[in-house]
Structure 1
């Protein structure tokens, strides 16, 4: 079965589940099955394909105007995808969601305007990047994969969400050496990280902006283990930590707080923020470490409201009065006197 639209089409979505409609603006086409061949209009700029097999024909010479391509539940081989990308010269964004046949994703250097890559629940084992303009990369999945960056590639911003495995260990051992130009990183996941006694082997030498949302599996030091990541990012300018505690308030004395051995100071860190700051012991210790080790810090925000979303700031709506009281007590009892005069402390 063939499907064609007018030459002036700009956006096209094909959802090829059985008995599903295919929508293009206000026109609907009903196909009884997903066995079809589709000659695409060359004027299409935004293309989304769902639940189908995709294989370029021998006469395929690309979609000259295509800017965004989104494939969801699409079976396409890595060779066919690379061939498609090689002939799509205006492509700017690529989104892949649950495409099972792509284990090695290679982005060639042909789409010169390509700057955004989003991979969601694809079982890739290796990501090979040869383009220079890729700026943003979003990844959500459970697979640790090898990153190969071609010569001249300037990979600057990445968002990684891992559903299993040690996200921090992967970031330091795999991402740091593979992405030397990375400036912004948002990392979500789990970690068993412990505090090492020596400097990390790999460092993020260009990383300026870092957001961490970690569930720490090492209960001994918990959030204080995040200091290991700070050691690997000596040139940070802004740090946001989204605390994921289960509201375990710290009832001890100041003398019970742990202090780490002296480390190299952070001379560039000017802004730090912790959301979900509820007075749990390791969160207090982490805040104190940031204050003590950041010689040029200008502002520290300790926000008791938990951050819930993946990439956007979405908070829980209400905070009980008792939580506010504990939060304010924690600040006055453990944090306030450690704040240098040049640092602005915001907490409510």
Structure 2
């Protein structure tokens, strides 16, 4: 993607008050008052006697549109409007100003020439003509100065816009703390050395390579949060040891990514969404929270994560697909510090094998299981002899206190898992079995309605299974909470002598 050439914009023929009036869309009467105050035909609101710097601070706390409306009412605010520190030009504002882009908006930025802004957001996602991006280049060069702390730029996905990396390279990015780019190219060179204040970096659908990220990382020693979403040109993500302050890492749907190699020593939380790849966490003793959305990951997580992230305290796993016959197995590795485990599965599974995961976490206090499928269980249980249920002996979950299973179904292996937990968790206090789709509930309010059930008859079968196989095993010290479909929103209808839920 080539950098868009700068084009000279037409000279603005309006004054500051008119620019404010243009932004104060939908408030014509207020802006008319401002016009009258200039020609002496109307009054203006001056407010109480306060130092001008206090008025400027009050003005800076307003949204851009409210600040423009205030400038229409008061000459005091009109003066501070000319150097308003926060320019938040979101999609709605820029879309409404699309016909005066080269006049009103340009005039706002000309007022900030040599002054800059503290916060700048430019949402160009509604502009699909490349010509508009010459304005964006110009405004970035005007507004981003030493003193700018937050910069957010969104472009249209069908326009080849390259973020001008010369801006931070020229020293204007020295105070930027938060950088968020969407749908653009970012191609720095090794000379990008002036972003030493950057603490939050968020790239979404940004065309950037792993090497180019390396150039950026070399100048971001203060970085604390890194989010990379849908950045399709990254094949290898290497995070250097020098990012000692980095505590949060999120990598999401970067399709060409094949390896993550981390050497940053203080990452506490890591969120990953994508295909299974090679992940080297390095010295990850401080990693406490891990959130993984990945296919075929359950057994891998149970076997590998205890050694690669030994101090995990919370672990959330979401798997849309698991290869057949790859259920959990005994592992000698232990999550010695894991207290919270959440597993979401979107396929039929041998749920009893999850006992191995529970056994690998001797400090576990909370376990949540969510079945994200409306399919009929392959091992449906309703009329079988309870004595035929499998049991796993020799396991005791001493610290497990809270268990919740969402979309509990009539699966035999799920009943076996719940029975095992009830019989082998001496500290268990609360067991919640939710037979619904974990969606919106009306809470008895007649103005609302519960979400529809994908398989309403399955919820009723699950309730019968709980009555037959589980309730009798619940100790008196355990609170059992069975969440059933709402009888007001999901009415039972007779069907040929039988019954179904609506």
TM-score by structure 2 length? 0.59
Larger Rg: 2
Equivalent residues of 1:236, 1:269 under 8 A apart: yes
> 2:433 is paired with a residue of what secondary structure?
strand
Residue matched to 2:270: 137
- Provide the C-alpha distance between the structure 1 equivalents of 2:234 and 2:356, rounded to a whole number of angstroms: 33
Q: CA deviation at 1:36?
A: 6.2
Residue matched to 1:312: none
Matched, 1:237 2:357: no
Equivalent residues of 1:117, 1:137 under 8 A apart: yes
Query: Within 5 A, what are the aligned runs for 1:252-291?
Result: 252-255=383-386, 257-291=388-422
In structure 2, do the counterparts of structure 1 residues 174 and 2 end up closer, same or farther at CA, with 3 Å as the change threshold?
farther
Matched, 1:333 2:468: yes
Q: Once superposed, what is the RMSD of the aligned Cα atoms?
A: 3.4
Equivalent residues of 1:12, 1:46 under 8 A apart: no
Matched, 1:37 2:172: no
In structure 2, do the counterparts of structure 1 residues 2 and 208 end up closer, same or farther at CA, with 3 Å as the change threshold?
farther
In structure 2, do the counterparts of structure 1 residues 176 and 103 end up closer, same or farther at CA, with 3 Å as the change threshold?
farther
Q: CA deviation at 1:58?
A: 4.0
Equivalent residues of 2:407, 2:436 under 8 A apart: yes
Q: CA deviation at 1:267?
A: 0.7
TM-score by structure 1 length? 0.82
> 2:201 is paired with a residue of what secondary structure?
strand
Query: Within 5 A, what are the aligned runs for 1:305-324?
Result: 305-307=436-438, 317-319=451-453
Q: CA deviation at 1:156?
A: 0.8
Residue matched to 2:307: 177
Equivalent residues of 1:169, 1:191 under 8 A apart: no
- Provide the C-alpha distance between the structure 1 equivalents of 2:452 and 2:213, rounded to a whole number of angstroms: 47
Matched, 1:224 2:318: no
> 1:306 is paired with a residue of what secondary structure?
coil
Q: Choose the corresponding residue for 2:129, options 2, 16, 19.
A: 19
Residue matched to 1:168: 298
Query: Within 5 A, what are the aligned runs for 1:133-212?
Result: 133-150=266-283, 153-162=285-294, 164=295, 166-189=296-319, 190-192=321-323, 193-196=326-329, 199-212=330-343
- Provide the C-alpha distance between the structure 2 equivalents of 1:308 and 1:142, rounded to a whole number of angstroms: 27
After superposition, what is the alpha-carbon deviation per residue over 1:74-127, rounded to whole angstroms, capped at 9, x for unaligned? 333323313312321332221112223333322223334322211111233332
Equivalent residues of 1:117, 1:134 under 8 A apart: yes
Q: CA deviation at 1:233?
A: 2.2
Q: CA deviation at 1:282?
A: 1.8
> 1:211 is paired with a residue of what secondary structure?
strand
After superposition, what is the alpha-carbon deviation per residue over 1:223-270, rounded to whole angstroms, capped at 9, x for unaligned? 222223223223211100002352545222343642233132011111
Count of residue pairs brought into register by the alignment:
334
After superposition, what is the alpha-carbon deviation per residue over 1:114-160, rounded to whole angstroms, capped at 9, x for unaligned? 2221111123333233334322211111133232322x641110111
Structure 2 residue ranges without an equivalent (≥5): 8-108, 141-150, 441-449, 484-502
Equivalent residues of 2:382, 2:461 under 8 A apart: no
| Structure having the larger proportion of residues in strand | 1
> 2:281 is paired with a residue of what secondary structure?
strand
Q: CA deviation at 1:323?
A: 5.4
Residue matched to 1:74: 206
